[in-house]
Amino acid sequence: MRPLRLLRPGLRCLTAWVVPVLALGLAAAPAWAGRDFDPLSTDWNGLATLQATAARIDVQLTARRDLDWATVSEREVLLVVGPLAKLDEPVELLHFLEAGGRLIVADDFRAGASWVQPLGIELLPQPGRSLRTLDGNPAFAAVEVKASAVALAHVAKWHLPRARLTPAEFLGHNLQKPVVLNHPAALRVADGANAVLWGPYGSGDLGWLAEAEHEGGRVLVLADSSLLLNQMLTRVYENRQFAANVLRYYCVVDRPCKVRLLANISEIHGVFASTEAAQPNSWHLGLDALQKGLKAVADLLQGPLVAPGLVAALVGVLATLVLRRSQLTAPELPPRGATGKRSTTLAENAAAWLADGAADYRKPARLLGAQLARWLQRADAAVFQPDQAGGLAARRDALRQPNARRRSGHVVDELVQGGQFSPQAGERLRQVLSDITRATSDQAPQLTRRRFGQLAAEVEWAETLLRHTAAARSAAIPKGES
């Protein structure tokens, strides 16, 4: 790893509170012994600042130097930084992604190419070159998160969560200035790959930030591992903000954000197995934390620290930690869209169907398709525009005619043309209709439980979109016609 001659070493003001806390949380982790990307190190090439950043944005970041696929859950995010071990066989990685797993790879000129090549992203053996640099030094590329219209149209087909921001807007949240890279590599998306560039190096086909999708799972790739080092995060605020955005990027709103940091990973073993285990409700987690906190306070009051002098000393130490922690400006979290209300009927039916041990889910998938068709007709009826003389009665009479129930694709086209929702949403809705049609045809193979669960999630998204469309249009009808 190259030293950062441009930047001053050290986070001496931070080590007094970071090291003791991290030593407790990572006591069982293997020692990095002065290597690059040591999670405990406050030297220029350590990751102590990344750990502190994660704690501030409520990310549970745990560090390992080996990857045992048998211990991995699809509900956690894997962050691979500067890997030493190549991924000779991608089978377990692909199984992890097919179960809905999330992976972040940050690397340049090392073994990271083998981690991303199966997803259609090439990590080229050449340096990345940006049009902008830091203080004119070509080694420090100044880059931005930027999405083309083609990239946004491509990811509209992905299985994305409901959110106020596009992927590029989330990754670039609160970045007022460019992100600074240190001797970055270059990424390229292979022809025909299900991947996009979120950070190009200009007008060409090379970039520093890319993302790929595989069977519902996703992989984010950074062409610079040194971006996450202490010096790069402490000296450039945009780097720290971008690191916070990356850490929270794949987190789900209603569950704890768990990221497994695999720094300088040197060993890969084990077999991945999907758990699909339900996580405890957030209020259960809150009660558990409260119970542990009360027990800790009770134990403290029963010990020798009750002495006034020792209590005063403890308060002084805590005040010092808070003061030193405030010396770094905390990154601002990108906003997440509010989770829409779930359809009670759909949620209950989907849960009942998934609980059934049936081998073929084509029949419940047909019921999903029928439910989606009904919501399309409701949205179509809600936005139907009668002539000024007809009023509501004329509209209802027209909807009773045989030609009122048009093909679903035509309904989607007219809703998009009428401005009821975006062309991207319309394209995704057409894809949902097409997926259900193919999955439920008599010639289709048996529909698996996992694929049915994906279809149910897509139908729930589509139903929410159509319900809001119908509700918004109904609210716009004059009271005299209601």
- The CATH number of residue 170's host domain is 3.40.50
Using only C-alpha atoms, the chain has a radius of gyration, in whole angstroms, of 26
Q: Which of 269, 288, 310 is the last residue of a domain?
A: 269
Contact predicate 61/247, CB 8 Å: yes
Residues 20 and 146 in one domain: yes
* Domain contains 100: yes
Q: Are residues 261 and 352 in the same domain?
A: no
Residues 51 and 149 in one domain: yes
Note whether residue 168 is domain-resident. yes
The reply to whether 138 and 32 lie within a common domain is yes
Q: Are residues 263 and 393 in the same domain?
A: no
Token reading at 14 = 């931070």
Using an 8 Å Cβ cutoff, are 178 and 143 in contact?
Answer: yes
Same-domain status, 252 and 379: no
- Its pTM stands at 0.57
Token pair belonging to 420: 């009821």
Inside any domain, residue 308: no
How far apart, in whole angstroms, are the C-alpha atoms of residue 70 and residue 159? 26
The answer as to whether 320 is a domain residue is no
Query: Could you tell me if 263 and 354 lie in one domain?
Result: no
Q: Does residue 174 fall inside a structural domain?
A: yes
Give CA–CA dist 240/227, Å, rounded.
9
Q: Collapsing DSSP states into helix, strand and coil, what is residue 365?
A: helix
For residue 459, what are the contacts with CB-CB under 8 A and spacing of at least 6? 346, 368, 369, 371, 372, 432, 436
The residue with tokens 């007219």 is 414
Domain boundary among 242, 269, 296: 269
Same domain flag for 359 and 475? yes
390 and 262 assigned to the same domain: no
**End of a domain among 216, 242, 269?**
269
Expressed as residue numbers, the domain containing 441 is: 344-481
Identify the DSSP state of 437.
H
Task: Give the span between the Cα atoms of 137 and 254, in whole angstroms.
Answer: 43
> Given this model, what pLDDT does residue 126 score?
85
Q: Are residues 231 and 139 in the same domain?
A: yes
111 within a domain of the structure (yes/no): yes
Asked if 71 and 96 count as a contact pair (C-beta separation under 8 A), the reply is no
Together in a domain, 113 and 227: yes
DSSP state of 244: H
Q: What is the pLDDT along the chain (482 residues), one digit of tens a residue?
A: 544 444 433 433 433 334 443 443 443 344 555 678 999 899 999 999 999 999 999 999 999 989 999 999 998 999 999 999 999 899 999 999 999 999 999 998 778 999 999 999 999 988 888 999 998 898 999 999 999 999 999 998 887 766 678 999 999 999 999 999 999 999 999 999 999 999 999 888 999 999 999 988 999 999 999 999 999 999 999 999 999 999 999 988 777 899 999 999 989 999 999 876 444 555 555 666 666 666 666 666 666 555 666 666 666 776 676 566 555 666 777 766 544 444 456 666 776 777 666 667 888 888 888 888 888 888 877 765 544 444 444 444 444 444 444 577 788 888 888 777 788 788 888 888 888 888 888 777 888 888 888 888 888 888 888 877 776 665 554 443 33
Which tokens in the block code for residue 94? 């692909």
Check whether residue 185 and residue 42 sit in a common domain.
Answer: yes
Does any domain span residue 285? no
CB atoms within 10 A of CB 330: 14
Q: How many domains does the chain have?
A: 2
* Cβ 453 vs Cβ 354: under 8 Å: yes
pLDDT at 378 (0 to 100): 82
Q: Residue 331 domain-assigned?
A: no
